[in-house]
Amino acid sequence: MENIVITEEKLLELFDLAVQASKLSYSPYSKFPVGAAILTGDGRIFTGCNIENRSFGLTNCAERTAMFNAVSEGARRILAVAIATPKSDYPVGPCGACRQVLSEFGEGSVPVLFGPNADNLVHSTLGELYPFDSLHELAD
């Protein structure tokens, strides 16, 4: 099912799902809900939210929650990512750990859409967010 076309409409659909996922966030400490939606190579969409812990090192970001959800269901390749931060005043991109994890399962050309709402979005790619990724060379 690798012939999936990633249209602007598809990216906005993913973003809407990320907004919905953010409503399930467990973020009592930061009060900063985040949701993510990932389109996989087989056409499935997986979502996730941030899940905090009073020991912040044990907190899991929405992007990694969605990715781990996808992997746990057998998906190994991502085609697009959307991240919603509805309480922010500006688009907040994924953290370094999430960029690393996403790059494990997607090529540099994978589109990444992020922002607080549909009127304030950044369109990027994994390669722009995580340049000079040598991981894929190591796997060959």
Active site residues: 63
Which residues have a Cβ under 8 Å from the Cβ of 122 and sit 6 or more positions away? 91, 93, 113, 114, 115
Please report how the helices 8-22 and 62-72 are oriented relative to each other, as an axis angle in degrees rounded to 10. Answer: 100
* Secondary element (H or E) of residue 72: helix 62-72
Distance CA 99, CA 101 (A): 6
How long a stretch of residues is the chain? 140
